[in-house]
Amino acid sequence: MGVQLTYGARGADQAASDALVRFVSKKELIQEENAGAIIQPQIDHALRALYAKGLFKAEPEQTEIVATLGLYPAAHIVFTGIEHDGGVRGLRLAAAAAAIALKKIRAANITVLLSEDLLLSFDKSCGAELAAQALTEGLLLALHVREPLKREPNERFTLKAVSFEPQGANAKAEIKALWEQGMNKGKLYAEGVSLARDLTNLPGNDLTPERLAYHAEELARELDLEIEVMDEWSAAEQRMGGLLGVGQGSINPPRMIVIHYKGDSSSDEAWGLIGKGITFDTGGISLKRADGMQEMISDMGGAAAVLGAMRIIGELKPAINVVAVIPTAENMPSDRAIKPGDVLRMMSGHTVEIVNTDAEGRLVLADGLTTAITRGATRLVDVATLTGAVSVALGTEATGAVTNNDELFKQVQSASERTGERVWLFPSYPEYKKKIRSDAADLKNSGGRYGGTITGGLFIGHFAEGLPWVHLDIAGTAWLDAGRGWEPKGATGVMVRTLVELVLHQEEAERRG
Ligand code: BES
Ligand code: MN
Ligand code: ZN
């Protein structure tokens, strides 16, 4: 993304911009007419007239495009509703709404006005750095849509230059450094999310396990990170029965991918980030129904989230250690595929009775956790499009979580509050664990429909060897049928930013002592 971001560089000269973005609160519109206070007398008047008619009410995410017809240097102004107490999430949403409006008028060089009121509200809420980051993320992420593979490709609209302009008498020069830091972080985060979205949107015939490994290798090379890609023979040597079992039904063999990030050689602690990488999930012998099956290209959304996070971590180079693990396979029915009733021996030595071949994610993730642990991970977070049940419970509004460690979950939760990616914790009462006991093996791979997200999560947790572990079920949030806020239709890249915030915060906490 080649967007150029600046703070306070254009000053009063907005002639270079195609459009101006001005965040407005209801309060400003209700206030006694103070002609010119918002932009300029005639334009302010037109905006207030729209408000009086109830057409533009400055509701959150509401936008109004006003042509300036020579009254102002920029050709258009995008008025965007905002609540000054909407927090960092409100800022990201407002910027996203503005971006969608900018795309309508093809305005690629823009100025974002930061009114005195708005700047003051940052002081009270999240601070300038996080505000800058949220606004940048909103602008960039809302525009990153799926690129269809057409004969005549239509070019994706992107912003070329964004200049944030502080306003008011004491035009905040002292926050310039913070703002630039937040802006650059926002851009980097958006790039990581974009990578995750692009990978997830790839069709299954383009993205086999081998191809996913190739993309991981590219990333590792770019970031100068150590990577191991284990093929089916190497996986067999390491007795990865879960990964091999799921992969055996497909002509496209499975892979176990491990990327190492070493930012603190003096520490024995390492984050294990494990992402489900099913490049296509037919359900296997327990075949899924045809309706909507094409969405199963997104069954590697967890893997994509981990790779997106690694891109950001590799650029920011925090003083922490990360072991990123991606077990990847294609879940197909065939004469060689696993069948219900089969028993698999996992890398950990545990045995699993297959009762439903469509519960494949937990099988590859089990070996993923074991792989992370053998490579030195001491805290585990797995991200997976694991269960349809999570969207029955939470819809597309939140990612479901299961954990064995409330302390670690709290860290995930506070990271998610900063990123606006909602996470909701399910209970893990001991009774749920009984539902995945088997008569034929240590465990069975499905506890049935009821409580499916919890039993699915706890199955994975069984392989954590008692280490702190959080499972994030993104089956409802990784893919959307309609765009919203900063997330487009299709792949969302959800949890990329939350994973990064989680591991970065660890570094900060350690630095503080
Ligand atoms: N990949 C699916 C889960 C999924 C469903 C993701 C819808 C995204 C949208 C997963 O592998 C699966 O098939 N889960 C089963 C589990 C069941 C067999 C225990 C499910 O949810 O039905
Ligand atoms: Mn499945
Ligand atoms: Zn799946």
Instruction: For residues 25 and 80, give the distance between their C-alpha atoms in angstroms, rounded to a whole number.
Output: 8
Whether 362 is a known active-site residue: answer yes
CA-based nearest residue to 189, from 507, 499, 510, 508: 499
Whether 255 is a known active-site residue: answer no
Instruction: For residues 24 and 112, give the distance between their C-alpha atoms in angstroms, rounded to a whole number.
Output: 12
Instruction: For residues 401 and 381, give the distance between their C-alpha atoms in angstroms, rounded to a whole number.
Output: 10
Question: What pLDDT, on a 0 to 100 scale, did the predictor assign at position 124?
Answer: 84
Furthest CA-CA distance within the chain: 79
* CA 346 to centroid of ligand 1, rounded, Å: 21
Instruction: For residues 489 and 142, give the distance between their C-alpha atoms in angstroms, rounded to a whole number.
Output: 10
Render pLDDT for 194-244 as a digit per residue (tens, 0 to 9).
999 999 999 999 999 999 999 999 999 999 999 999 999 999 999 999 999
Which residue's alpha carbon is nearest to atom 5 within ligand 1? 388
Q: State the DSSP H helix or E strand holding residue 331, giving kind and residue range, or none if neither.
A: strand 321-331
Does the beta carbon of 473 sit less than 6 angstroms from any atom of ligand 1? no
- Give the Å distances, CA to CA, from 253 to 208, 220, 250: 8, 21, 6
Question: What pLDDT, on a 0 to 100 scale, did the predictor assign at position 80?
Answer: 98
Which atom of ligand 1 is nearest to 281's Cα? 1
Residue pair 442/352 in contact (Cβ under 8 Å)? The answer is yes
* CA 435 to centroid of ligand 3, rounded, Å: 20
pLDDT lower than 70: segments of the chain: 1, 11-15, 32-33, 35, 169-172, 507-508, 510-513
* CA 359 to centroid of ligand 1, rounded, Å: 6
Does the beta carbon of 209 sit less than 6 angstroms from any atom of ligand 1? no
Q: Who contacts 222 (Cβ-Cβ below 8 Å, separation ≥6)?
A: 314
Does the beta carbon of 358 sit less than 6 angstroms from any atom of ligand 1? yes
Substitution candidate for ligand 1 out of 289, 298, 338, 358 with most atoms within 8 A of CB: 358
Question: What pLDDT, on a 0 to 100 scale, did the predictor assign at position 13?
Answer: 58
Does the beta carbon of 389 sit less than 6 angstroms from any atom of ligand 1? yes
Does the beta carbon of 445 sit less than 6 angstroms from any atom of ligand 1? no
Question: What pLDDT, on a 0 to 100 scale, did the predictor assign at position 85?
Answer: 84
Which atom of ligand 1 is nearest to 389's Cα? 21
Catalytic residue among 288, 422, 433, 484: 288
Q: Which ligand is nearest to the CA of 445?
A: 1
CA-based nearest residue to 460, from 365, 381, 385: 365
Which residue's alpha carbon is nearest to atom 13 within ligand 1? 358
Q: Who contacts 93 (Cβ-Cβ below 8 Å, separation ≥6)?
A: 60, 61, 86, 138, 420, 485, 486
Question: What pLDDT, on a 0 to 100 scale, did the predictor assign at position 181?
Answer: 97
Write phi, then psi, for 225 (nearest 5 degrees): -110, 150
* CA 279 to centroid of ligand 1, rounded, Å: 13
* CA 333 to centroid of ligand 3, rounded, Å: 13
Radius of gyration of the chain measured on its C-alpha atoms: 24
Amino acid sitting at position 146: R
- Give the Å distances, CA to CA, from 224 to 61, 218, 219, 231, 311: 40, 10, 8, 22, 11
Does the beta carbon of 475 sit less than 6 angstroms from any atom of ligand 1? yes
* CA 206 to centroid of ligand 2, rounded, Å: 20
Which residue's alpha carbon is nearest to atom 22 within ligand 1? 388
Amino acid sitting at position 499: L
If one counts every other C-beta atom within 10 angstroms of the C-beta of residue 290, the result is 7
* CA 281 to centroid of ligand 2, rounded, Å: 6
Instruction: For residues 428 and 432, give the distance between their C-alpha atoms in angstroms, rounded to a whole number.
Output: 7
Which residue's alpha carbon is nearest to atom 16 within ligand 1? 359
* Orientation angle between helical segments 301-316 and 496-512, nearest 10 degrees: 40
Does the beta carbon of 360 sit less than 6 angstroms from any atom of ligand 1? yes
Residue pair 277/364 in contact (Cβ under 8 Å)? The answer is yes
Find where tokens 């296997």 sit: 284
Question: What pLDDT, on a 0 to 100 scale, did the predictor assign at position 242?
Answer: 99
Catalytic residue among 22, 276, 362, 497: 362
Return the structure tokens found at 181: 């830091």
Does the beta carbon of 200 sit less than 6 angstroms from any atom of ligand 1? no
If one counts every other C-beta atom within 10 angstroms of the C-beta of residue 494, the result is 32
- Give the Å distances, CA to CA, from 487 to 79, 258, 396, 410: 21, 28, 11, 25
Q: Which ligand is nearest to the CA of 354?
A: 1
Instruction: For residues 60 and 394, give the distance between their C-alpha atoms in angstroms, rounded to a whole number.
Output: 23
Q: Who contacts 339 (Cβ-Cβ below 8 Å, separation ≥6)?
A: 285, 354, 357
Amino acid sitting at position 511: R
Question: What pLDDT, on a 0 to 100 scale, did the predictor assign at position 169?
Answer: 66
Does the beta carbon of 384 sit less than 6 angstroms from any atom of ligand 1? no
Render pLDDT for 37-96 as a digit per residue (tens, 0 to 9).
899 999 999 999 999 999 999 999 999 999 999 999 999 999 999 998 888 999 999 999
Does the beta carbon of 477 sit less than 6 angstroms from any atom of ligand 1? no
* CA 356 to centroid of ligand 2, rounded, Å: 9
Return the structure tokens found at 75: 């050709």
Q: Which domains are seen in the chain, by residue range?
A: 4-170 (3.40.220.10), 194-512 (3.40.630.10)
Give first-to-last CA distance, the chain, whole Å.
Answer: 36
* CA 355 to centroid of ligand 1, rounded, Å: 14
Beta bridge partners of 403: 470
Substitution candidate for ligand 1 out of 387, 392, 450, 474 with most atoms within 8 A of CB: 387
Which atom of ligand 1 is nearest to 286's Cα? 18
CA-based nearest residue to 108, from 56, 46, 158, 163: 158
Does the beta carbon of 272 sit less than 6 angstroms from any atom of ligand 1? no
Does the beta carbon of 388 sit less than 6 angstroms from any atom of ligand 1? yes
Does the beta carbon of 476 sit less than 6 angstroms from any atom of ligand 1? no
Beta bridge partners of 64: 79
Amino acid sitting at position 142: A
Q: State the DSSP H helix or E strand holding residue 110, giving kind and residue range, or none if neither.
A: strand 109-114
